[in-house]
Structure 1
Amino acid sequence: MRTLLLSLQARAAGLFRWLAGLFAWMPRPLRRALLWGVLALPAAVLAYTLVLIPFTPSISDIRKAKSELPAQLMSVDGKLLAEYRWANREWVELNEISPNVVNALIATEDHRFYDHFGLDWRRTASSVVHTLRGDPQGGSTITQQLARNLFPDEIGRSRVFPQALTRKLKEAITALKIEASYTKDEILETYLNTVPFLYNAYGIEMAARTYFDKSADKLNVLESATLIGMLKGTAYYNPVLNPERAQARRNTVLSQMVKRGKLEAKQLEALQKRPLRVNFERQTEVMGPAPHFAMQLRKQLIEWADSHGYNLYADGLVIRTTIDSRLQAIANQAVLRQGRQLQGVADTAWSQRNGWGPKSELVQTLVRESAEYRNAVDKGQAPEEALQALLDDTAFLQKLRAEKIRVQAGFLAQDPVTGHVLAWVGSRDFAQDPFDHVQAARRQPGSTFKPFVYGAAFAQGASPDDTLMDSAVEIPLGGGRVWRPTDGGPPSDEPMTLADGLARSKNTITAQVMHQVGPARVAEVARALGVRQSKLEEVPSLALGTSPVTLKEMVSAYSSIANLGRYVEPVLITRIEDRHGKVLETFAPTAPEAVFDARAAQTLRNTMRGAIDHGTATAIRSRYGIQADVAGKTGTTQDNTDGWFILMNPRVVVGAWAGFNDGRITLRSDHWGQGARSALPMVGEFMQQAIRSKVIDGNARFVDEFDTRTAPPPDSSLDTMRDWLRGLFRSDPNQPSMPGGSPGVPGNVAPPVPAEERVGG
């Protein structure tokens, strides 16, 4: 080093003499201008630095970064649901980190750490010299690196001049502010807790768990050197994918520790011969018992915090929600149990013997849609060759099958009176499938949509006791097209009341009611009750639930039915507090909105008890022993693609959906694919356990506000439903039940629907 310094001094002296001669040769005006220019350059840099100060993080921001208090999401009964953190990390104090880590860090990254105030001018000058000699080296101190880790957006990332100069100046300013705000030990603690280590691991604690399956205080010198060595380039020195590079870098760190007196020289040779011995396990972020609910709220809460001058990740906000942790736990268990049951069915239905194999057209289509196939084609492989290679790859087909045949579910419970969301399960496993099947997924609701058809009829004056003939139905669509809805078996050709038609989920009866009421009116009723985000196609088959909707919309709509036609916007948050318990904002529930005739809603609600008592959902009473006052509806879509069940109680409305992310995959079983077997068990177990634990009052009863024996006057703006219904049976019995020219056929007919459609309950 001394020789290098003498050499540099000699070169500098020669350069100075040459510049002095050149300066003396210049004319006096040019010398004066050059002198002023040289003096002006540092002044300009200083002025520019002063201008940048307001554009760097403030002292308060820097202090918050260390004291980082993530917002807490709390249940209505005071239990922690989730924390909103910057990243997947667990903060540990410096005394909970192995001294080997600290020694390796200081020896390798900043051996004069305790001697400078954020900027090491000697190291900066040395890095410039090495860079000019073709050996690029970093000159940033630990404090400067911490500034970049904490405030990457404020400081910037550009390496192109002049943006790079601005970045380095901001970095230096922020480093000085950090040194003024923190002690040296606090800087080390904050640095080690914020540095990224790949695989969604931030901070030394998560890194220790990820690469060595131990806590940070248990790291030995080899493990510490390996992790600190990664800081030069986490991907390049990744010990999982690049073990040889990682070991070489680890040995360099060990040498630096010896050089700086942090390790005895006699240990070095033996330690450098030791293997890495990585014990890798990817760490998953703990999201709590209601992860989908927490994720749905995150964006809304960030916007609230920004608009009110708070930081969701650092200011210790406390968000009080409507979720009941007891009901959430019951819902999680019900979804988990039924999901396992259905997965066994799906695995059998899609086994190698039952259609999952290279010869299946669906499997070939799924392979062509895979990322592996696209990558192979993008690299120049012929499409057919790429397809055949993947079809011959047993491991790939097994992986594809596991992804596609994974049964999914959604579950939501809501108080119909207050609108409070009580439980929210977006999928069977958030880590495997973070997609939310409550609010984000739109699926055909099947027969759970039928109550809107009957509700529209009751609002027009129809009665549950009115009858229609359960016979084959043909509804003309115009242009020679005909819709022929059918049920699972042949029609009985006998009269059936509207109440039984709904309880037994008869498509033939529902289609006739839809024909008279009209798709536009049914869609209007559904929107008013709560299906307000999804587009509804106003076609006759809408009666059988062919327009995709969300589970959240359907539970909201059923809540309006239970609440006698009064819609209440779902409520997720009740109030937000600061870290000291001071209430910052209260979120009062919106006033109930009368959106549907109360008498008709009461009639519909009471009629829907039939599905539970003697219809498609009798398992609620026979299997789960629920004797509470409940009403509901099952739903099953074409080819058993989607299974639904929604249950109404005076204090809770519960809905569940079961199916697959890919609509082309089904349970392939008329037995298990029905909503009564796929979705109902989740709701049944939930209600059974909720009543048994007395979280839900099993003695609560619906209260009738009207005497349903006296029918309300029909809507004068439309034809009278009851007259039409009775008129059907005064006509010639040989005449088709739905003649093409009968009055009341809606003129607003949407695009063609399949000539025969089976979507039922």
Structure 2
Amino acid sequence: MPRFRRLLRWTLIAFAGLALLAAVALGALYYVISSELPDISTLRDTEMQEPLYVHAADGKLMAVFGESRRYPVTIDQVPQRLRQAFLAIEDARFYEHGGVDYKGTGRAVWLMVTTGSLKVPGGSTITQQVARQFYLSPEVKIKRKLAEMLLAIRMEQELGKDEILALYLNKSFFGNRAYGVAAAAEFYYGKKLDELALDEMASLAGIPKFPSSGNPISNPERARIRRDYILDRMAELGYVSAAEAAAAKAVPMHASPHEPPLEAPAPYVAEMVRQEMIARYGPEAVTRGYRVTTTIDPVLQAAADQAVRDGLRLYDHRHGWHGVERTAEVAADADDATLAKALAGITVQADLLPAIVAATAADGSAEVVLADGRRVALAPGAARWANKNPAALLKRGDVVRVRHGEKEDEFLLDQIPRGQSALVSLDANTGALRALVGGYSFAGNKFNRATQARRQPGSSFKPFVYAAAFEKGFNPASIVLDAPVVFRDRRGNTWSPQNDGGGFRGPMRLREALVQSRNLVSVRMLDAIGVEFARNYITQFGFDQAELPPNLSMSLGTASLTPLSVARGYAVFANGGSRVDPWFIDEVRDRDGQVLSKENPAMACRTCATVGGRAVAGAPQVVDGFNFGALPAPGQAQAPAGEAAQDGPATAAVPAPPAADAKVAPRAIDERTAYQLVSMMRDVVQRGTGTAAKVLGREDVGGKTGSTNDHRDAWFSGFGGPLATTVWVGRDDFRSLGYREYGGKAALPIWIDYMRVALEGQPIAANDPPPGMVKVYVDGSGRMSTEGGGLAEYVKVEDLERMQNSLDFFGPEQDDEAAFDIF
């Protein structure tokens, strides 16, 4: 017996020692783990990642950027039954335990002992899952599990149950880049949380366990089994009745992808916004839920997109069918689903759908299969523009493009245009971007030709050269010779500029030279005023001097400029001479609606001088002894100076200058020069190279066509109403657009289609001569006088005394063979 007592005593001592060692080990483990645990209080200030939202000026959604979809919600925004669905499958005792469910933990420990695996179901409460999602890795280790339990207990002490559940519902991953239950409801069902049906709620609750392999899109059968189990659990727990659960289980699985509905898509502008936001706020700009409001008018943007697509399609159809995109190898017995697989990875471009030819018929028709597996017919007339029927152009396996016709279920054969285009439309008075298109299809090519492509503007650059000449004393009535001229540099190289189409018209007024786009007149005029003077002057329109060629070829538009910069330059003419900066982000708000930035653009003001950047009344104008007095007070009428005050056009009230704290755009050119060029470019539309724009029926529409050598670039830049708009058409590989593809043929139709929509309801923009101008009359021989007789023209008063009736304004004509340093 004593031996048994000794054995029992030593056994108890050993157990006590082991217990003490275990307690010490657990205490040390607790100390080590607890010292590494983060501060739970930071969860109250947790910022969920949200995408960047881009909106048009009227609030319509243009784009969403971000790796994850997430729309954080408060617990009050989550329907009771949706909460119960998650509780039923994840943690039915959530509102009873203190962070750790010891019954569930005990079951999990037993399973680990009996199976020998650490990966066992159950045991983790919703609180533990939140701890793991925010602070821990998903690795399966006992130390991590203990840390998770300790964090869960601390979280329960720091946060309320509803706060923890809200964190879980907003943080959980639901597959397909959807984070949080609100984003999941939108993606899988296209609904808000309060619109979900019971079966949909149960389906969502089953996703977080298997977000990629078990969501209702990737594996609907597995998702259905889990949904039905959740519904049974909800009935078992009394959340729903057995009849409600049965009815929900009878609903077929019907989830499908739902992207956020874009109400005003403008992908090129949206990408500009994304890049600008990252430049301002860093890479986190696309994860902090910023809301950006742009200056884009969605109606004008839609019109611009349509005009570019229609214009490029019209251009492309003029040059005929250029073949299928490629031919896929398909078996003779391949069904439609197999054929559709050949279209994988081919994106929709604009309204052109990828399709693969399934069969052709003797009547000239063809059948094609779309990417979704549908088979559609192409009637014999579906390729009328190509002067052939589809069967003559296609064979089985060809990959082509089709688009919807005007009739229901009608499809037409088409092709992606080889040409590209850019359109930029600015508010001429503020520089606000109203519409921008950077190419035929952003999906096909993300290169933004409106802001990144540098192309030669051709004759559309001439108004800037004319403005420089008018600063030197030329005017619309000045006579310049349109005749052959040869320039030779110091190395003996010669340059003989030509008019488009050849021919020469002798002495002609500058107004007529611009209307008819005479190249030699521009060259002679630039030679007269000097290249360096012109380069310095033209930079006032916003161009970089390095962009402007330091030789006479500049007069023909050989500078490499972006469509955006050209539109900015034309805005100077349209607004009366002020240089405005293009801008497109009006307002930025954070996720809570607080304004982070609000644009305050500098505005053009025809009647303003500026002191310290503020608008003030204009000072008295004294020019060559003529005192025109101070500019009128806001709203007060002002008649044009000189003769215009007596028999000029009817005067109108001068617009009031901006408020005293408004930013005023700097003056780029004399307002009188702007008036003269606007008047001349209106004539370009009325009777020159832009006459097609007369169809708009507006007297305030003006502009200038532009074409380059071998028809590589076609332009039309102009204005109407409050807008300055530029259109460019060309090919990315700099190949020719084709025979006689001038600016008036390739670019102007796009400009017209856009401006027809943009100018609807807009008042006619006035172009009254400003103070400091005198009306003169030019007869048929070119003689000018201030008395009646001949064509009326407004000139600057200081130019009046210098006017001479001479073929050469600045003296004897230079010898054509003289050498000039022009290169």
1:453–1:510 contact (8 Å) kept in structure 2: yes
Distance verdict in 2 for CA 1:20–1:117, change over 3 Å: same
Distance verdict in 2 for CA 1:625–1:541, change over 3 Å: same
CA distance, structure 2, for counterparts of residue 527 and residue 18 of structure 1: 97
Aligned amino acid, residue 579 of structure 2: Y
Does 1:341 find its partner at 2:310? yes
Does 1:45 find its partner at 2:21? no
Q: 1:624 aligns with which of 687, 690, 696?
A: 696
Aligned to 1:654: 724
2:127–2:155 contact (8 Å) kept in structure 1: no
5 Å matches for 1:293-372? Answer: 296-297=272-273, 323=295, 328-346=297-315, 348-349=317-318, 353-354=321-322
1:143–1:179 contact (8 Å) kept in structure 2: no
TM-superposed deviation, 1:508: 3.9
2:675–2:770 contact (8 Å) kept in structure 1: no
2:576–2:674 contact (8 Å) kept in structure 1: yes
CA distance, structure 2, for counterparts of residue 581 and residue 455 of structure 1: 45
Does 1:689 find its partner at 2:760? yes
Aligned to 1:552: 564
> In structure 2, the residue corresponding to 1:568 is in which secondary structure?
coil
Moved more, 119-128 or 103-112: 119-128
1:197–1:207 contact (8 Å) kept in structure 2: yes
CA distance, structure 2, for counterparts of residue 499 and residue 429 of structure 1: 39
In terms of fraction of residues, the more helix-rich structure is 1
Distance verdict in 2 for CA 1:490–1:314, change over 3 Å: closer
5 Å matches for 1:5-404? Answer: 39-49=27-37, 52-53=38-39, 57=42, 59=44, 61-62=45-46, 75=57, 102-116=83-97, 130=112, 133=117, 135=119, 141-143=125-127, 184=162, 188=165, 191-192=168-169, 195=172, 197-198=174-175, 203-204=180-181, 207-208=184-185, 210-212=187-189, 223-237=200-214, 239-240=216-217, 242-243=218-219, 246-252=220-226, 254-255=228-229, 258=232, 261=236, 277-278=253-254, 280-286=256-262, 288=264, 296-297=272-273, 323=295, 328-346=297-315, 348-349=317-318, 353-354=321-322, 394=397, 396=399, 398=401
5 Å matches for 1:492-503? Answer: 492=504, 494-503=506-515
1:463–1:722 contact (8 Å) kept in structure 2: no
Aligned amino acid, residue 234 of structure 1: P
> In structure 1, the residue corresponding to 2:726 is in which secondary structure?
strand
2:479–2:508 contact (8 Å) kept in structure 1: yes
> In structure 2, the residue corresponding to 1:112 is in which secondary structure?
coil
5 Å matches for 1:323-722? Answer: 323=295, 328-346=297-315, 348-349=317-318, 353-354=321-322, 394=397, 396=399, 398=401, 405=418, 408-416=421-429, 418-421=430-433, 438-471=450-483, 475-476=487-488, 485-492=497-504, 494-514=506-526, 521-532=533-544, 535-536=547-548, 538=550, 541-563=553-575, 565-570=577-582, 572=584, 587=600, 589=602, 590-596=663-669, 600-620=673-693, 622-628=694-700, 630-637=701-708, 642-648=713-719, 652-659=722-729, 662-663=732-733, 668=738, 670=740, 674=745, 677-686=748-757, 688-691=759-762, 696-699=763-766, 701=768, 703=770, 705-707=772-774, 709=795
TM-superposed deviation, 1:527: 3.1
2:773–2:797 contact (8 Å) kept in structure 1: no
TM-superposed deviation, 1:654: 1.7
Distance verdict in 2 for CA 1:79–1:479, change over 3 Å: same
Distance verdict in 2 for CA 1:248–1:655, change over 3 Å: same
1:90–1:206 contact (8 Å) kept in structure 2: yes
Identity of aligned residues (%): 24
Aligned amino acid, residue 506 of structure 1: R
1:470–1:492 contact (8 Å) kept in structure 2: yes
CA distance, structure 2, for counterparts of residue 455 and residue 712 of structure 1: 16
Which has the higher relative contact order, 1 or 2, with Cα contacts under 8 A spaced 6 or more apart?
1
Moved more, 168-177 or 199-208: 168-177
Aligned amino acid, residue 724 of structure 2: V
CA distance, structure 2, for counterparts of residue 18 and residue 543 of structure 1: 106
2:479–2:507 contact (8 Å) kept in structure 1: yes
Q: Which runs of 5+ in 1 are unaligned?
A: 1-16, 25-30, 360-369, 374-390, 715-720, 732-736, 750-761
2:484–2:520 contact (8 Å) kept in structure 1: yes
Distance verdict in 2 for CA 1:338–1:90, change over 3 Å: same
1:199–1:283 contact (8 Å) kept in structure 2: no
1:626–1:688 contact (8 Å) kept in structure 2: no
TM-superposed deviation, 1:144: 5.8
1:268-307 deviation digits (Å, cap 9, x = unpaired): 9999998975463442452647676566455656777899
Q: TM-score, normalised by structure 2?
A: 0.61
> In structure 2, the residue corresponding to 1:108 is in which secondary structure?
helix
CA distance, structure 2, for counterparts of residue 350 and residue 452 of structure 1: 33
Distance verdict in 2 for CA 1:211–1:422, change over 3 Å: closer
Aligned amino acid, residue 625 of structure 1: G
TM-superposed deviation, 1:345: 1.6
> In structure 2, the residue corresponding to 1:113 is in which secondary structure?
coil
Aligned amino acid, residue 716 of structure 2: F
Aligned amino acid, residue 283 of structure 1: E
> In structure 1, the residue corresponding to 2:39 is in which secondary structure?
helix
TM-superposed deviation, 1:611: 1.8
Aligned amino acid, residue 332 of structure 1: Q
CA distance, structure 2, for counterparts of residue 600 and residue 393 of structure 1: 63
CA distance, structure 1, for counterparts of residue 559 and residue 515 of structure 2: 21
Aligned amino acid, residue 109 of structure 1: E
How many residues get paired? Answer: 649
CA distance, structure 1, for counterparts of residue 671 and residue 486 of structure 2: 33
TM-superposed deviation, 1:678: 3.5
TM-superposed deviation, 1:518: 6.0
> In structure 2, the residue corresponding to 1:623 is in which secondary structure?
helix
1:104–1:254 contact (8 Å) kept in structure 2: no
TM-superposed deviation, 1:623: 0.4
Q: Which runs of 5+ in 2 are unaligned?
A: 1-10, 328-342, 347-393, 403-412, 603-662, 775-793, 801-805
> In structure 1, the residue corresponding to 2:760 is in which secondary structure?
helix
Distance verdict in 2 for CA 1:423–1:144, change over 3 Å: farther
Aligned amino acid, residue 626 of structure 1: R
TM-superposed deviation, 1:682: 3.8
1:514-573 deviation digits (Å, cap 9, x = unpaired): 556566555444433113599555465444444443333222222233455432334556
1:650-687 deviation digits (Å, cap 9, x = unpaired): x7242132547845587657458635533321453145
Aligned to 2:336: none
1:420-472 deviation digits (Å, cap 9, x = unpaired): 45555666777887765544554443332222222333333444444444456
CA distance, structure 2, for counterparts of residue 517 and residue 124 of structure 1: 91
> In structure 2, the residue corresponding to 1:647 is in which secondary structure?
strand
Q: CA RMSD in A?
A: 5.8
Aligned amino acid, residue 53 of structure 1: D
Aligned amino acid, residue 213 of structure 2: Y
1:305–1:311 contact (8 Å) kept in structure 2: no
Aligned amino acid, residue 89 of structure 2: T
Aligned amino acid, residue 556 of structure 1: R
CA distance, structure 1, for counterparts of residue 269 and residue 420 of structure 2: 20
In terms of fraction of residues, the more strand-rich structure is 2
